Amino acid sequence: MSELVKSPAIGDESPVSATAAAAPEATPKQLTQWAEIRHRFVQNKLAVVGLVIICLLFLTAIFGNMFAPFDPGAQDLENTLASPNGTHWMGTDALGRDMFSRLIAGTRVAMFVGLASIFFAVLIGVALGAIAGYFAGFADTLVMRIADVFLAFPLMIGAVVIILVTGRGITPVIISLAVFSWATVSRLLRSSILSVREMDYVHAAKALGASGWRIVRTHILPNSLTPVLVYATFNVGTTIIGVAALSFLGAGVPVDVPEWGNMLAAGQAFIGVHDYLWLYPSLFVVVTVLGFAFVGDGLRDALDPKLR
């Protein structure tokens, strides 16, 4: 995959979890399903690290403006391109704005835009995928062909075309990333509904006289949503990369918004001269993406131990 096409296939072997698998699993007899899942999750050290990272990111996004030392937009033209020091922990940019405060403000933008586009992608994807999975036949064919059309656009290229139409802005970025990500969700959900429908436990429930609604609610839906949940968690990171990449290309959120991609694009001109200008934003992006990826991997292993 070149840059940011679609996310890696779910269900490929996760080497990370191999260590967790080897650890002795002392599962007490009477555990609810959730307790068991939680138990498996916390045994995966990387997943716990990821969870801590995500919690910190949420706290920064919500309360960041309270502890940011400076106003992220305030310019200080007498103090531009200052190297990291006691007052400006991560230096100042070409307009003398405090990098640390801008990175904190950027956390809010990244989390909001990333989560919002994943939310819409999942919303569209689950609705269409469920239709395709439940009503086989024409609806299925139609939805899947539409999905094929959207999958044929590499994520960045498709998103850039939408931004071209709408102009730069936060909403266009959310929409463009969601429009070219839902197809994977609906494919995942459809194929897992198709396989869950034929599971022995569904047949067993049917044989025991469970109603159709009960089977859908307690067996088919929870079991087929697992891959979607894992995909969504994992891909918040990928989407945040997408947000930054769009700004980096000059087709994302407006330039004056303190956003990681904008900061990276501005810092690019100073490679080798003022590296802190792009190294700190890079650090924020990498840590965020890894946090969501670790939790995604951990969730996959915890929700479906058979997959590992």
What gap in Å lies between CA 127 and CA 116, rounded to an integer? 17
What gap in Å lies between CA 93 and CA 194, rounded to an integer? 53
> Shortest Cβ distance from residue 276 to other proteins (Å)?
12
Residue closer to other proteins by CB (options 44, 223) is: 44
Residue closer to other proteins by CB (options 14, 60) is: 14
Residue closer to other proteins by CB (options 216, 264) is: 264
* DSSP structure string for 141-198: HHHHHHHHHHHTS-HHHHHHHHHHHH-SSHHHHHHHHHHTTHHHHHHHHHHHHHHHHT
What gap in Å lies between CA 285 and CA 269, rounded to an integer? 19
Question: Which residues contact other proteins (rule: CB under 8 A)?
Answer: 1-5, 8, 12-13, 15-16, 18, 46, 145-146, 148-150, 152-154, 156-157, 160-165, 167, 237, 241, 244-245, 248-251, 264, 268, 271-272, 275, 278, 282, 285-287, 289-290, 293
Residue closer to other proteins by CB (options 160, 257) is: 160
> Shortest Cβ distance from residue 245 to other proteins (Å)?
6
> Shortest Cβ distance from residue 297 to other proteins (Å)?
8
Confirm if 243 and 257 have CB atoms less than 8 A apart. no
Q: How many CB atoms lie within 10 A of CB 163?
A: 22
Residue closer to other proteins by CB (options 100, 276) is: 276
What's the helix, strand, coil split of the chain in %, to 5?
A: 70, 0, 30
> Shortest Cβ distance from residue 160 to other proteins (Å)?
6
> Shortest Cβ distance from residue 274 to other proteins (Å)?
11
- 92 strand-pairing partners: 98
